[in-house]
């Protein structure tokens, strides 16, 4: 439906007003107020959209999107947020692989873990994000202490690491 050809009747305006008045979320209330402002404008839809965008401090495309949502889906469509939550970059399985890598390889720096993630999964993380990921999963980047001149065997290093990780 073309937005410039839409016409609002009294029934539509009363429906928008009742939705506006019953709305508890102020962000959604602004949507209904903007649609009401466009509907009650006598200068045409396009002029109403420009004036409404100025009054509410929104972009004209935002007001057009709200109007098209209302015209295609009614008040129910305009009455909720259609945001998709951001998905984490690594899946739970991949995070487990990183945990195993850190537990057994015991890298010296977070940057090594970052490079591992980038090479293994082709996903770019910042050093701070990797640090937070490790802390969230109860890991710290700690190399076992090496006694000068007397290098411990790999078994001893793993044993010390298990003690440290507890």
**136 shares a domain with 159:** yes
The pLDDT value recorded for residue 98 is: 92
Mean pLDDT by 10 residues, the chain (166 residues): 74 87 88 88 85 91 88 81 69 91 85 91 87 85 59 77 72
Structural domain containing residue 137: 92-165
Torsion sign (Cα): 113, 118, 119, 121: positive
CB neighbours (10 Å) of residue 98? 21
The pLDDT value recorded for residue 70 is: 85
The pLDDT value recorded for residue 132 is: 87
Q: Does the residue 87 lie in any domain?
A: no
Indicate the number of domains in the chain.
2
Q: Does the residue 85 lie in any domain?
A: no
The pLDDT value recorded for residue 115 is: 93
**160 shares a domain with 96:** yes
- How many residues would you count in the chain? 166
139 touches 155 (CB < 8 A)? no
Residue entry with tokens 């490079």: 115
The pLDDT value recorded for residue 89 is: 81
The pLDDT value recorded for residue 97 is: 93
Longest dimension (CA), the chain: 90
The pLDDT value recorded for residue 166 is: 64
**144 shares a domain with 119:** yes
The pLDDT value recorded for residue 73 is: 82
**114 shares a domain with 60:** no
Q: Any residues with CB less than 8 A from the CB of 6 and at least 6 apart, and which?
A: 45, 67, 71
DSSP H or E segment with residue 27: helix 26-39
Q: Does the residue 38 lie in any domain?
A: yes
Q: Any residues with CB less than 8 A from the CB of 51 and at least 6 apart, and which?
A: 37, 41, 43
């Amino acid at each position: 439906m073309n937005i410039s050809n839409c016409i609002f009747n009294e029934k539509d305006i009363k429906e928008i007003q009742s939705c506006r008045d019953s709305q508890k979320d102020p962000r959604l209330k602004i949507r209904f107020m903007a649609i009401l402002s466009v509907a009650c404008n006598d200068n045409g839809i396009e002029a109403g959209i420009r004036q409404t965008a100025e009054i509410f401090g929104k972009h004209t495309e935002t007001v057009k999107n709200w109007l098209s949502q209302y015209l295609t889906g009614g008040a129910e469509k305009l009455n909720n947020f259609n945001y998709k939550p951001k998905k984490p970059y690594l899946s739970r399985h991949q995070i487990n692989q990183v945990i195993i890598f850190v537990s057994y390889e015991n890298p010296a720096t977070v940057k090594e873990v970052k490079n591992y993630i980038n090479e293994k999964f082709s996903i770019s993380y910042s050093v701070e994000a990797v640090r937070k990921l490790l802390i969230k999963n109860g890991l710290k980047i700690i190399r076992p202490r090496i006694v000068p001149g007397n290098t411990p065997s790999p078994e001893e290093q793993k044993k010390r690491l298990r003690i440290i990780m507890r």
